[in-house]
């Protein structure tokens, strides 16, 4: 996404749908506007898996291209009136299993959230904005240590950006609309260092999605998205630890 003065990254848009279960097909035909990130979210897999299964050396894909996808885990789309308790009871699993499978840190869910009902190899479930950070928060709050296993740890230079700058579209390289989802934690990365779509933990910021790129973001440098312009300015330029999560 084009950045002006203060960089900005993106938020994953929550899907809205009816209750039900779904599984991914074995092959996905790329359509105009598709990205590996959007496909990974639709198929409930990771960008890295899609690259590996299709021998892709980059995240560039083309319309009509056939991509192999792995069979998705059984999922459930939250509808109005649902609670974790009612969903767990309906599918004969425990609330703890449901929370662990979806890496939920609270029982807050909203209609449209897609929950994995079985399996532990969850790459990136769609979590409601309400369960990640308060809508009234304009800056990173108390830091939460990553609970997932760490694949790699890096020391990186960080800056911050916002989607409110003049001329900024608010749309990231992976299609996340930051203006519509101002509470999503997203960072801009060099895909050669941190693959797009990766879940990461950033010191002082918390868990986020590597969802954007930038012309000045090269090597061991990241740009974190903060909705408030002043809070982004206050973040400044600092060295932080970054953990790439499994």
Query: Do 208 and 202 form a contact (C-beta atoms < 8 A)?
Result: yes
Q: What pLDDT, on the 0 to 100 scale, is given for residue 18? A: 34
Split at pLDDT 50, 70, 90, the class of 11 is very low
Q: Average pLDDT, stretch 70-86? A: 77
Split at pLDDT 50, 70, 90, the class of 118 is low
**Any residues with CB less than 8 A from the CB of 237 and at least 6 apart, and which?**
157, 158, 159
Split at pLDDT 50, 70, 90, the class of 175 is confident
Does the reported pTM lie above 0.75? Answer: no
Q: What pLDDT, on the 0 to 100 scale, is given for residue 13? A: 33
| Homologous superfamily, domain 150-245 | RlpA-like domain (2.40.40.10)
**Any residues with CB less than 8 A from the CB of 151 and at least 6 apart, and which?**
243, 244, 245, 246
**Range with the poorest average pLDDT among 12-21, 54-63, 111-120, 174-183:** 12-21
Q: In the chain, which ranges are E strands?
A: 27-29, 66-68, 75-77, 114-116, 150-161, 186-188, 199-202, 206-212, 221-225, 238-245
Reading the block at residue 40, the tokens are: 């990974």
Q: Domain 27-126: which topology?
A: Membrane-bound Lytic Murein Transglycosylase D; Chain A (3.10.350)
The answer to whether 27-126 and 150-245 have equal CATH topology is: no
- Give the whole-angstrom CA distance, residue 41 versus residue 100: 19
- Give the whole-angstrom CA distance, residue 125 versus residue 28: 20
**Any residues with CB less than 8 A from the CB of 219 and at least 6 apart, and which?**
190, 193
Break the chain into its structural domains and give their ranges.
27-126, 150-245
């Amino acid at each position: 996404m084009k950045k002006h003065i203060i960089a900005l990254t993106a938020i994953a848009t929550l899907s809205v749908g009816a209750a039900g279960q779904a599984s991914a097909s074995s092959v996905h035909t790329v359509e105009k506007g598709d990205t590996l990130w959007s496909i990974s979210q639709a198929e409930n897999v990771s960008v890295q898996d899609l690259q590996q299964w299709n021998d892709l050396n980059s995240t560039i894909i083309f319309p009509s291209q056939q991509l192999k996808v792995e069979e998705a885990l059984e999922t459930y789309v939250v509808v109005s009136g649902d609670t974790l308790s009612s969903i767990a009871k309906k599918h004969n699993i425990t609330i703890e299993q449901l929370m662990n499978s979806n890496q939920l840190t609270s029982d807050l869910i909203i209609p449209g959230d897609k929950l994995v009902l079985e399996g532990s190899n969850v790459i990136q479930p769609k979590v409601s904005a309400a369960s990640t950070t308060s809508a009234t928060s304009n800056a990173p709050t108390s830091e939460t240590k990553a609970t997932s296993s760490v694949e790699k740890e890096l020391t990186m230079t960080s800056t911050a950006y916002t989607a409110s700058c003049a001329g900024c579209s608010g749309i990231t390289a992976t299609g996340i609309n930051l203006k519509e989802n101002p509470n999503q934690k997203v960072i801009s990365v060099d895909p050669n260092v941190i693959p797009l779509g990766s879940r990461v933990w950033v010191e002082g910021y918390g868990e986020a999605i590597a969802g954007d790129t930038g012309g000045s973001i090269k090597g061991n440098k990241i740009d974190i998205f903060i909705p408030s312009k002043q809070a982004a300015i206050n973040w400044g330029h600092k060295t932080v630890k970054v953990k790439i999560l499994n």
